[in-house]
Amino acid sequence: MEKRMGSALILVYNQLAAAQLNQILSLHSEIIIGRQGLPLRERGISVISIILEGTTDQLNALTGKLGKIQGIQVKSIMMKPLTDQEPENTPFLA
């Protein structure tokens, strides 16, 4: 199965769910390329952004498990990574 790139934004409304969240992320660490977490104390939430690379099944398994945790909301996007067949003159936007 072809690998895809993806990203997920996780909002943590209940800090008691953090242990379960971290356990699930650890179980799927082989598809996590990067992770950034920011506490928004004035709003009482935390935001975690993760960059992923894996099959559609792997990405859906991770985000599906996260979405079932009480006190957490997750949204994700997936796309095909660039291949050697992509045109070289594709503009890069920074």
CATH code, domain with 58: 3.30.70.1150
Give residue 37's identity as a one-letter amino acid code.
G
As for how many domains the chain has, the answer is 1
What count of other Cβ atoms lies within 10 Å of the Cβ of residue 59? 23
57 Cα distance to chain centroid: 14
Q: What is the mean pLDDT of residues 52-74?
A: 95
pTM: 0.82
Residue 27 in any domain: the answer is: yes
Residue 93 in any domain: the answer is: no
Residue 86 in any domain: the answer is: no
Q: Determine the structural domain holding residue 44 and report its residue range.
A: 3-77
Residue 88 in any domain: the answer is: no
Residue 16 in any domain: the answer is: yes
- Tell me the pLDDT tens digit for each residue of 71-88: 999 999 999 875 655 556
Length of the chain: 94
Q: pLDDT value at position 93?
A: 67
